[in-house]
Every structure is written in C-alpha cells, then in structure tokens.
Amino acid sequence: MKKVAVIGCGAYMDTGYGCPGEWRCLKAAALGDGKFDKESQVVIFLKCQCPGRNTISNTGMALKLSEIQPEAIYLSSCLVNPKPGCPYITPEELASMLEDKTGIKVVLGTHDYH
C-alpha cells in the first residue's frame, strides 16, 4: 500500500471542530479518496504550529525517526484552504521548502469532505 505523510494546520487542529486530524484526512487516505490517487497508509501525521518555523525540521526528524519513507507528503485541506488564510506562509511556499528539504513530492490538499 502507498505510504504517505500528512501535515495539518495546528491552528485548526488545536481548535477542535473541523480538526484535520479527527477523521477526514485519515478516511480519504484509507479509501483513496479526494487527493489520494490510491488507498494509502498514513505513516507520519504532523501538525504545523504557528508561525511554522519548525515544520520543515520536524518533518525531517519524523522521517528519520519513523524509518518509513513516504512516497508523498500531503498538506491537509485545512492547511491549504483556510479561511482566513495563514498569515505566515503560503501552502505553495511550504510545499516548495518541504520538497527541497526532503526530496519527496508534496501534494496540496487531502480531501473534499465537509
């Protein structure tokens, strides 16, 4: 099964309802739904935390400690499409930095559930 990492927006995750970690990202990965092109196993689930300075290094550390190399890193839908938007970094900037650091393809978004 395809192995993936997911990074959620901590500002959403910490406020409870609508948290990207509650079920949506995990269901979409399990079913190969939304942005997942096939059924996928989430082997790393990280949350970005404002202002996002540690997200790149935390991802690198998770990859090292996990010892399971994901085929792709997904930025959660709540990280990619927040209203209001993230004041610190765009999803495209974060994706570019993650790809440069890890060499792993980054996908913008995870699911279309409401």
Confirm or reject binding of residue 48 to ligand SF4 (CB under 6 A).
Answer: yes
Confirm or reject binding of residue 52 to ligand SF4 (CB under 6 A).
Answer: yes
DSSP state of 109: -
**Residues numbered 79-98 forming contacts with ligand SF4, rule: CB under 6 A:** 79, 86, 88
Give the residue, chosen from 9, 28, 95, 106, that forms a contact with ligand SF4 under the rule CB under 6 A.
9
Confirm or reject binding of residue 25 to ligand SF4 (CB under 6 A).
Answer: no
**Contact in structure between 7 and 95 (CB atoms under 8 Å):** no
Q: How far is the CB of 70 from ligand SF4 (least distance, A)?
A: 19
Give residue for tokens 């790149």.
Answer: 56
**Residues numbered 54-83 forming contacts with ligand SF4, rule: CB under 6 A:** 79
Confirm or reject binding of residue 20 to ligand SF4 (CB under 6 A).
Answer: no
26 half-sphere exposure, CB direction, 13 A CA radius: 9
DSSP assignments along 24-43, one per residue: HHHHHHHHT-TT-SS-EEEE
SS3 107: strand
| Residue numbers at the binding site for ligand SF4 (CB under 6 A) | 9-11, 48-52, 79, 86, 88
